[in-house]
Amino acid sequence: MTMNSLARKHEPRRVIPKEERAATSAMIASLAAEGYDTVSAPFGHALAEAARKDDRIVGLTADLGKYTDLHIFAQAMPERFYQMGMAEQVLVSAAAGMAREGFLPFATTYAVFAARRAYDFIAMAIAEENLPVKIVCALPGLTTGYGPSHQATEDLAIFRGLPNMTIIDPCDACDIAGMVPQLVAHPGPVYSRLLRGKVPSVLTRHKPDYKFQLGKAQLIREGADVLVVSTGFMTMRALDAAVALERDGIGVAVLHCPTIKPLDTATILAEAGKSGRLVVTAENHTKVGGLGEAVAGTLLSNGVTPSFRMIGLPDDFLEAGALPTLHDMYGLSVAKVAEQIRGWL
């Protein structure tokens, strides 16, 4: 409970007007993606398809198969699915043991439980040994309204400091479906954020030939005034904000970076080095230790010094509530992204 919410606990209760309830009453765990088609459980279906081609693949979860879309894999491959119960340390330790025996384990849970509860086991049993365990985690950053216990706002910062760990923050269904076979081919450990359920299909709307490439950033949209370097679903928000700002005569380029580590520094430097553009990073993560600081360090250490701003979550424990309300409150909504960029120009 935050200090603000604690203070409100003692405020007189009021009846919420009907017109406010749609925006604030439900604690949803899906993203507002108006105008985009959605794909149901892209991770589960992609993993099941990959497993049909590679009998080394196994799936494990910590009592969250339905909530990480691993239930799709479990239905397709019941003999290769392992339900470990609510024991994340056991989950990752078992995955490490399976990897040592030649399997390719995909372990799923919520991002907070992997980053906070199982970190030492991931570090010692998986990362130090450089084992090919793929840790795929739902509810990254501010994708749930259930408060600090479930909001993994610092997971990228935690895993960025872990040697041997590749880190992915996919934007949409295309990224998720595309990353699975590349994770299978990747020889080391991976931590990936995950959007689950009905996941929007965004990137091919703006760039029809887009395909996920592990370790690569891709320019999705051109623009002469601003370069937004974004990751995760904030690429969707950046693209929508760019369309809105175009009506004001502001050209916004969007560089999507689904791989946080290793960062595609060459592409970032090439785009940020084009003179005259404001450079903005956008991420569904605290501004401490995430994409923004990684990009800033890359630019400064290479002598590239454009005007620079960051869009991200505050260094704080966040409120509980409905996602549309929270995203607007913390600056992640399309309107707030556009408003911030407009104010910096």
| pLDDT tens across the length of the chain (345 residues) | 456 655 654 555 444 444 443 343 334 445 767 789 999 999 999 999 999 999 999 999 999 999 999 999 999 999 999 999 999 999 999 999 999 999 999 999 999 999 999 999 999 999 999 999 999 999 999 999 999 999 999 999 999 999 999 999 999 999 999 999 999 999 999 999 999 999 999 999 999 999 999 999 999 999 999 999 999 999 999 999 999 999 999 999 999 999 999 999 999 999 999 989 999 999 999 999 999 999 999 999 999 999 999 999 999 999 999 999 999 999 999 999 999 999 999
Are 69 and 48 within 8 A, CB to CB? Answer: no
Write down all domains in the chain, each with its CATH number in brackets.
38-200 (3.40.50.970), 215-344 (3.40.50.920)
Q: Is the peptide bond before 262 cis (omega within 30 degrees of 0)?
A: yes
Distance CA 327, CA 323 (A): 6
Q: Cα–chain-centroid distance for residue 327? A: 15
**Residue (of 241, 181, 209) closest to 45 by Cα position:** 181
CA–CA dist 320, 236 (Å, integer): 23
- Length of the chain counted residue by residue: 345
Phi, psi of 121 (to 5 degrees): -70, -40
Q: Whole-model pTM above 0.85?
A: yes
Sheet hosting strand 308-313, strand order edge to edge? 218-221, 252-256, 226-230, 278-286, 308-313
Tell me 114's DSSP state.
Answer: I
* Angle, helix 234-246 to helix 334-344, in steps of 10 degrees: 60
